[in-house]
A = this chain, B = another copy of it.
Amino acid sequence: MSVEWEPVRQSRTHELVLETIEARVLAGELKAGDRLPPERELAPVLGVSRSALREALRVLETIGVLVAQSGRGPDAGARIVRHPDDALGRLLRLHFALGSYSLEDVLEARVTLERSSFQAAAGHASPEEIEEAETLLWRMRAPGVEVAEFNDLDTRFHVLIARSSGNRLTSTLTSAVRESVRPLILRALEAVEDWPATTGSLNDEHAELLRLVREGEATAAADLAEKHIRGFHGTLVDDKQPGPAGQ
For A167-208 the 0/1 string (1 means CB < 8 A from B) is 111101100010000010000000000000000000000000
Q: How far is the CB of A72 from chain B (nearest CB, A)?
A: 16
- A82 contacts chain B at the CB level, 8 A cutoff: yes
Contact A169 B106 (CB under 8 A): yes
- Which of B92, B94, B105, B169 is A22 in contact with, Cβ under 8 Å? B94
For A57-71 the 0/1 string (1 means CB < 8 A from B) is 011001111000000
The stretch from A24-32, A141-149, A230-238 touching chain B is A24-32
Copies of this chain, count: 2
Question: Which residues of the partner chain B approach A14 to less than 8 Å between Cβ atoms?
Answer: 58
- A227 contacts chain B at the CB level, 8 A cutoff: no
Question: Which residues of the partner chain B approach A32 to less than 8 Å between Cβ atoms?
Answer: 98-99, 246
Question: Which residues of the partner chain B approach A22 to less than 8 Å between Cβ atoms?
Answer: 90, 94
- How many interface residues does A have (CB within 8 Å)? 54
- 6 other A-B residue contacts (CB within 8 Å) besides A14-B58, A26-B94, A101-B169: A87-B91, A100-B168, A105-B168, A109-B169, A112-B113, A173-B173
Question: Which residues of the partner chain B approach A161 to less than 8 Å between Cβ atoms?
Answer: none
Residue of B nearest to A33 (CB): B246
- A116 contacts chain B at the CB level, 8 A cutoff: yes
